[in-house]
């Protein structure tokens, strides 16, 4: 199953969900504004990338500051 991490005000997130729905692909959504993300979850995501993911995060987001991960991006 596809897992997507979203924020309510994100238009790219909405477009991604629209595309997934249009192609009848099932997914699990985790809204970061409502559900948050743990440090462990985020580090797990980062270990599965080859430096492509960090550019998609805004470094000054409250979530990253709270998890003390901005220095890793």
The two structure tokens encoding residue 66: 């709270």
Q: What is the pTM of this model?
A: 0.63
* Mean pLDDT score of the chain: 79
Compute φ and ψ for 14, nearest 5 degrees.
-65, -40
pLDDT category of residue 73 using cuts at 50, 70 and 90: very low
Mean pLDDT of 13-36: 94
pLDDT in tens, 49-69: 776 555 455 555 665 566 555
Looking at per-residue confidence, does 63 or 8 come out higher?
A: 8
CA 37 from chain centre, in angstroms, equals 9
CB of 37 closer than 8 Å to CB of 5? yes
């Amino acid at each position: 199953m596809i897992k997507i991490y979203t924020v309510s005000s994100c238009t790219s997130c909405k477009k991604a969900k629209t595309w997934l729905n249009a192609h009848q692909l099932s997914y699990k959504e985790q809204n970061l504004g409502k559900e948050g993300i743990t440090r462990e979850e985020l580090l797990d995501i980062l270990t599965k990338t080859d430096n492509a993911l960090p550019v998609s995060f805004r470094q000054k987001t409250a979530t990253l500051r709270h998890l003390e991960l901005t220095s890793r991006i």
